[in-house]
Each structure stands twice: as structure tokens, then as C-alpha cells.
């Protein structure tokens, strides 16, 4: 019997994922909290564990070293792994696995929730009605607007399919282009700068790399249309939040909808929280019953494979 540490709240609460582990004869140890676990917390609880299914907790080289020699796999219940030191894990022969495609639809649908919230000022008007006002805010339609998609991977592609049904004109940037999106949904691939300049709605679906960190900054924000909105369900680090605040405050762009920030949760005095043209959700893009079950099952299956001396299906590839 192996010990499987679960720090991801959604997995800890999911019956289907836990059943897979229990049916394989493994013991489940849960350590969940409202926020992500720090390096110090992870170092304290990881010794003696054979596997860990983690959320966005800090899994640094020191955490991984604290888990050896017993630790055999680090499974993420999502597709991001920027909180995991994959190089340290690879050096110690520990695979880091993901759950690709499991939350694609849920995140994609939230993109449209944020777009419509901004376009029709839904949160603001709801608040006004509750306060006794019946004042209307002039919104805009999605139909006929230009949607710029930065990153046409799984989520970006699903956004494109639905944007096409909304009657939007779709332009995109990605290093790896998909001809089928052009053929089926009239997507035009352009340079990154062209997409930023032309978009009425700009949705971010890129990983954080040295090239994309703070991609949306004073220069790129200034290049955008004044009536443009940005949607970010990817990573907060893609945006320079100080430059963004200035752009929103001065009317350089019209609004921002995000499911992620550089610091999560944000400090109570975070400047973006003061702006009426900002709509924020608490990194809940993948937090639907459907996606949670798919993520939990995939993560649990990867753990069972590795603990059964099989190769994982969805391991992060680490450059030599």
C-alpha cells in the first residue's frame, strides 16, 4: 500500500478520483486549506509520501528533496506546472504529470462569461439594481467584433469555435498554427502586434515564459483600441498589472476580465479591485463539477500507473 498525498481541494472532495486510488489499494492522506501551500508547509507534509496530487502549491526543489527517496510521482490536477520545479523532479527521476484537456470546456465557457460581463456591464448593473437603481449602462454586442486569440491550443481553439457561432471576426497568434481553424472558422493568423492592435476583445491563452511574461505592458496596451477589452484566464504573469491599472484608469483600454492575478488571492488594497471596468473571478475557470471529475480521474490514473511501475501518459517533457 502506497501513501498518496492530496493537497488539491477539488481532488480531495471528488469521489471518482479517490475511488480509483482506493481500488488500487493505496492510502489517501489529505492536507487541504483555503489557500495554496507554501514551500515550508509542503516540506513538512511530504516526507513519507509515495505520490502527491497537488493544486497550485509551491513544489520547489527543496520540497521535492524532502519527499525522496519515497516520492515517485507529482501529479497536477490541471495543465499548468509553473509552481513545480520540473527540472529538480527530473534530476531525481520523479515524473511530473498533468491532466490535459480535462478543464478545456470549463475555462473556455468562463472566457465568454467574462466577455459578456464586460460587454454588457452585468456585474455593475446587478449591483445597481440591488441598491435600488434602475439605471441602464450602454453595452456592446459580440456580434461583428474582432476577437484576438493569443494562443490557439486546446482552450484557445474551443474559444474560437464558440466565437464563430457568435458571429465574431477571429484573428489569432500562435507559433504553431492550425490550418483547420482557418478552414472551419475563418481564422486569420497574424503577428502578435497585429492581433493586439486590431482586437476588440483580446483573450490570452499562452504559457508564462521569458518571452511572454508581462506581454501586456505599457507598449502593447497603448497599441490597443480604446474600446478594447482583455480577457485573461491563463496566468496573471502575462500582464504587467501596474501598467494595466494605468491603462484602465486613463481609458487607454475599456476593461479587463480575469480569472487569475499575479498574486492569489490579491491583497485587499490591490489597485485593480478599485476599478469598475474590471471583472475578477477567483481562479475558478476549471472549477466545475464536470472538469473537477475529469481532472481528478486523470490525476489519479497517472498515480496508479506510476505506482504500478508503468509509464505515465501525460508527463511533462523536460529539456535535456
User: Which residues form the catalytic set?
Assistant: 235, 264, 283
**Grid cell at residue 7:** 493537497
Order of strands across the sheet that contains 169-173: 188-189, 169-173, 146-150, 201-204, 229-232, 255-258, 278-280
DSSP secondary structure string for all residues of the chain: --EEEE--HHHHT-HHHHHHHHHTTPEEEE---SSPPPHHHHHHH-TT-SEEEESS--B-HHHHHHHTTT--EEEESSS--TTB-HHHHHHTT--EE--TTSSHHHHHHHHHHHHHHHHTTHHHHHHHHHTT---------STTPEEEEE--SHHHHHHHHHHHHTT-EEEEE-SS--HHHHHHH--EE--HHHHHHH-SEEEE-----TTTTT-BSHHHHHHS-TT-EEEE-S-GGGB-HHHHHHHHHHTSSSEEEES--SSSSPPTT-GGGG-TTEEE--S-TT-SHHHHHHHHHHHHHHHHHHHTT---SSBPP---
Which residues make Cβ contacts (< 8 Å) with residue 294, sequence separation at least 6?
A: 99, 101, 102, 103
Amino acid at each position: 500500500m502506497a501513501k498518496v498525498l492530496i493537497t488539491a481541494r477539488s481532488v480531495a472532495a471528488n469521489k471518482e478520483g479517490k475511488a480509483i486510488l482506493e481500488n488500487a489499494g493505496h492510502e489517501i492522506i489529505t492536507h487541504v486549506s483555503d489557500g495554496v501551500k507554501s514551500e515550508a508547509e509542503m516540506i513538512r507534509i511530504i516526507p513519507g509520501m509515495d505520490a502527491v496530487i497537488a493544486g497550485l502549491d509551491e513544489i520547489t526543489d527543496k520540497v521535492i528533496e524532502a519527499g525522496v527517496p519515497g516520492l515517485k510521482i507529482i501529479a497536477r490536477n490541471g495543465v499548468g506546472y509553473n509552481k513545480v520545479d520540473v527540472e529538480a523532479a527530473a534530476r531525481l527521476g520523479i515524473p511530473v504529470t498533468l491532466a490535459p484537456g480535462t478543464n478545456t470546456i470549463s475555462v473556455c465557457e468562463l472566457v465568454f462569461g467574462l466577455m459578456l460581463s464586460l460587454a454588457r456591464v452585468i456585474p455593475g448593473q446587478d449591483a445597481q439594481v440591488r441598491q435600488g437603481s434602475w439605471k441602464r449602462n450602454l453595452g456592446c454586442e459580440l456580434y461583428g467584433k474582432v476577437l484576438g486569440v493569443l494562443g490557439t491550443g486546446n482552450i484557445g481553439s474551443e474559444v474560437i469555435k464558440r466565437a464563430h457561432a457568435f458571429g465574431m471576426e477571429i484573428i489569432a497568434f500562435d507559433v504553431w498554427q492550425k490550418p483547420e481553424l482557418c478552414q472551419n472558422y475563418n481564422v486569420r493568423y497574424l503577428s502578435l502586434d497585429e492581433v493586439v492592435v486590431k482586437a476588440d476583445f483580446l483573450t490570452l491563452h499562452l504559457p508564462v515564459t521569458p518571452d511572454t511574461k508581462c506581454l501586456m505592458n505599457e507598449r502593447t496596451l497603448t497599441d490597443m483600441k480604446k474600446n478594447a477589452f482583455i480577457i485573461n484566464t491563463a496566468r496573471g504573469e502575462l500582464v504587467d498589472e501596474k501598467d494595466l491599472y494605468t491603462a484602465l484608469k486613463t481609458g487607454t483600454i475599456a476593461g479587463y476580465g480575469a480569472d487569475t492575478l499575479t498574486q492569489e488571492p490579491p491583497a485587499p488594497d490591490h489597485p485593480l479591485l478599485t476599478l469598475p471596468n474590471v471583472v475578477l473571478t477567483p481562479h475558478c475557470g476549471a472549477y466545475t463539477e464536470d472538469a473537477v471529475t475529469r481532472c481528478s480521474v486523470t490525476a489519479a490514473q497517472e498515480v496508479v500507473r506510476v505506482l504500478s511501475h508503468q509509464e505515465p501518459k501525460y508527463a511533462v517533457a523536460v529539456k535535456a
